[in-house]
Structure 1
Amino acid sequence: MRAAVFEAHGAPLAVQQLADPEPAADGVVIRVGRCGICGSDLHMAEEPEFGACPGDVFGHEFAGEVVEAGRGTQRLSKGDLVSVVPLASCGHCPSCLAGEPAWCPQMRLQGGGYAEYAAVSERQCTLLPGTASLADGAIVEPLAVALHGAVIGDVRPGDRVLILGAGPIGLATAFWARRMGAARVAVQDIARHQEARAMEMGATHFLCDPEAPVAASDRALGGKADIVFDCAGVPQLVAQSVEQVRVKGRIVMLGLCTRAASFVPFRAVSKEAAILTAAFFKRQEYEAALDVLSAGAVEPRALVSQTVSLAEVPETFRALKSRTGQCKVLIAP
C-alpha cells in the first residue's frame, strides 16, 4: 500500500510503498476513505515532545470500509463503513468500561490514516449510518474533542462565550456552544481567514483586534465572558484569558502548547476564575457528534475546506504549517 510517512522532525512527509496491514484476531483492516489532517499532526512533525518516530504514519481522524476482519470479531463484516475512534486501549479496564479509553494505562493514539489501509481493533469502530458520509466520519473526532471541551466548560443557556483561535477546534466549539444555548459566541483570532466560516458555524461575532483583544471581546459580549475557550495553544493567551473572563468564570484550555506560559496568579485568584483543561473525549461524546451529523446538521461540514490525494499530502502538509485560508483538509487515499 502507499502511505505518507514521517521521516524526521522538520523534514517533509514522504509517500512510500509499505506492506499491507493484517488484522489482529479482534481487529479489522480498513480501506481509508477520508482522513483529516489535524493540527496535532503538524505539532508531531515538528516537536519531539510528541514522540513521533521515523516510519510513523500519521492520521487519527479517519473513516473507511472494512475489507478484512480478524477471526475473533463479532460486530463487523466486510463492506461495513465505519468511523474510527483513534484511542487504542485495552478495552477492559475501568476507564475503558466507562467509555473513557483516553485514560486507559495502555492508551495510544491510533494513527495510520495517511495511507490506503489501516489496521484497528473492532471496538474502535463505530458504524456509519446511511445518512453519514465517509467525509462525515472523518470529522467526528474533532467535533468530539470540541464537545468534550464544551461539556467541561459547562456551557449554559444565555452564556457569553469567547473562543480564542479560529481553527477547526475553535470553530467546532462555537458550533456546540450555540447548540447548548449560549446567547453570544465570539470567535477571536489574529487574522480574518476564517471569519465567514466562523459565522456559518454559529458564532455571533468574529473579532480581529490584535492590539486590543480584551477591549474587543468586552464590547462584543457586553462585558466579560462567562467562559473563555483557549483553542489556539499560544502561551500568552493564558494571561489574556484571565483578563477576558468574568468573576467566577471558567477558562478551558483546549489548544496544544508545549512551551512555558506565564500569568499573574493574583489576577485569576482575585476573580476566583476556574482554569480547566480538556483532552480527547468520551466514547459517548464521539457517538453524540456522529449522531448530530447523521441527523443532518450542516454547520460542521463547513469545516472541510479541501480534499487532496495521497500524492498531494507532503506539499499540503508543508503548506499548512503556515497560516492559510484552509480549515480542515481531508485526504482521499
Structure 2
Amino acid sequence: MKAAIYPGDGRAIAIETLPDPEPGPGEVIIKVERCGICGTDLTMTKGGQWDYGSGVQFGHEYAGEIIALGSQVSGYRVGERVAVQPSVACGECHACRSHGNTILCQSRLGSAMHGFAELARVPVSVATRLPSVLSAADGALIEPLAISLYGAQLAQIKSGEPVLVLGGGTVALYAIYWARRLGAGRIVAMSRSARRRDLSLAMGADQFIAYGDNEIGEVIEALGAPPAIVFECVGAEGLLHKAVMHAAQFGRIISLGFCTAPDTVIPALASYKCASIQFSVGYTMGEFLYIADQMDKGHCDPKVIVSNEIGLDALPAMFDTLRGPNDETKVHVCCGS
C-alpha cells in the first residue's frame, strides 16, 4: 500500500510503499476513502518543539470501508463504512473515566493516525459506524466537527446569548455551526480578510466583520451587546488578548486555536470583566457518535467547506501550497484514488 510518511525535523513528506497491514485481535483494516488535512498537520510537520516525530504515518480526519476483520471483533462486518477516532485510550485514567476525553488519556495505548494511506489498521474500539445516508466525505469531517462541538459544549451556551467567533478556518466555521445549533442568539464571525465571509454566513453567522480599528464597536452594534461568549479559533499570538478585549463582563472565552507560542494576556483587563478563559483540546466518543447520528439533520451541509479533493500522491505538494497564501479551506485527500 501507499502511505504518507513524515521523516521528522521539518523535512518534506514522502509517499512510500509499505506492506499491506493484517488485522490483529480486536482490529479492523480500513480502506481509507477520505482524509482531511488539518492545520495541526501543518504545525506538527514543520519541525521544532511541536513535531509528530521521525518516520511516522499521520492523518487523523478520515473515514473509509472495512475490508478485513481480526479475531475478537463483533458487531461490525466487511463493507461497512466507518469514521475513526485517532487516539487509542486506556479507558481507566482520570481523563478517560472522568471526562471521556481520549486525546488527554494519560496512558495513550497507541495512535490510529493512519489516514494518509490507502489502508489503515485500527482497533475496532475507535471505529464509528456511519449511517447509510452519510458519505466518506461526511465521515472525514466528524473529527473536526467534534473538536468544535466539544468546545461549544464547554461554553454552556444559553438560549439567545450573543457569540463572537474569531477566525475563518475549519474550527471557526464549525464553532459557528454548533453555536447556531445549540441556541445562540446573534453570531458574528470575525477574521482578518473577507475570504471566508460567505462560508461563515452559510454556517450560521448573522454578520461578518473584518479586524480593524473600530472592530469592538462594530461587533457590539452587530450583536446588540458585547459577546457573552468568544470562541478563539485562530491559534496565533495576540488572539487571546483580542478575545478578552471583546468579551462582555462575566464573558466566557473558549480557546480552540491551539497556539504553540507564548500568547500575552493582560490579567487586569480580564479581571475587570471577570472573564473566564477555557482552554480545550480533543473531544469524547460521545461527540463522535452524536455527529454521526445527527450530521444530516443540521441547518446546512458541513461539506460546503471542502474546497479541494486531491490524490495521495499530491499530498506533499499540497502541504507546500497550504503553508503559503492560498484559497483553500478544507482539503480532502482521496487516498484510494
CA distance in 1, matches of 2:47, 2:161: 36
CA distance in 1, matches of 2:292, 2:48: 32
Alignment of 1:119 onto 2:121: yes
Name the CA shift for 1:267/1:93 in 2 (closer, same or farther; >3 Å): closer
Residues 1-333 of structure 1 mapped to structure 2, 5 A cutoff: 1-93=1-93, 95-96=95-96, 99-107=100-108, 109-295=111-297, 298-333=300-335
Structure 2 alignment gaps of length 5 or more: none
CA distance in 1, matches of 2:299, 2:223: 26
Q: Choose 316-325 or 226-235, whichever is displaced more.
A: 316-325
Give deviations 1:181-216, integer Å, cap 9, x for gaps.
Answer: 112111111111111111111111111133443233
Name the CA shift for 1:189/1:43 in 2 (closer, same or farther; >3 Å): same
CA RMSD of aligned residues (A): 1.7
Structure 1 alignment gaps of length 5 or more: none
Q: Report the residue type matching 1:8 in the other structure.
A: G
Name the CA shift for 1:210/1:282 in 2 (closer, same or farther; >3 Å): same
Identity fraction in percent: 34
User: 1:325 Cα deviation (Å)?
Assistant: 2.0
Q: Choose 14-23 or 125-134, whichever is displaced more.
A: 14-23
Name the CA shift for 1:291/1:76 in 2 (closer, same or farther; >3 Å): same
Q: Report the residue type matching 2:274 in the other structure.
A: E
CA distance in 2, matches of 1:8, 1:94: 31
Name the CA shift for 1:221/1:294 in 2 (closer, same or farther; >3 Å): closer
Give deviations 1:18-65, integer Å, cap 9, x for gaps.
Answer: 122222211111110110101110110114333312221221010011
Q: What is the SS of the residue equivalent to 1:259?
A: coil
Q: What is the SS of the residue equivalent to 2:115?
A: coil
**Normalization by structure 1: what TM-score?**
0.95
Is the Cα contact below 8 Å between 1:60 and 1:109 reproduced in 2? no
User: 1:104 Cα deviation (Å)?
Assistant: 2.3
CA distance in 1, matches of 2:175, 2:119: 31
Name the CA shift for 1:287/1:18 in 2 (closer, same or farther; >3 Å): same
Name the CA shift for 1:240/1:94 in 2 (closer, same or farther; >3 Å): closer
CA distance in 1, matches of 2:249, 2:298: 38
User: 1:95 Cα deviation (Å)?
Assistant: 4.5
Is the Cα contact below 8 Å between 2:43 and 2:51 reproduced in 1? no
**Normalization by structure 2: what TM-score?**
0.94
Give deviations 1:223-276, integer Å, cap 9, x for gaps.
Answer: 311000000011201111111000001001000111111121011111110111
Q: What is the SS of the residue equivalent to 1:120?
A: strand
Q: Report the residue type matching 1:16 in the other structure.
A: E
Q: What is the SS of the residue equivalent to 1:46?
A: coil
Is the Cα contact below 8 Å between 1:131 and 1:295 reproduced in 2? no
Is the Cα contact below 8 Å between 2:23 and 2:121 reproduced in 1? yes
CA distance in 2, matches of 1:37, 1:211: 33
CA distance in 2, matches of 1:12, 1:253: 30
Q: Choose 238-247 or 107-116, whichever is displaced more.
A: 107-116
Q: Choose 270-279 or 215-224, whichever is displaced more.
A: 215-224
User: 1:91 Cα deviation (Å)?
Assistant: 4.0
CA distance in 1, matches of 2:266, 2:330: 35
Is the Cα contact below 8 Å between 2:36 and 2:330 reproduced in 1? yes
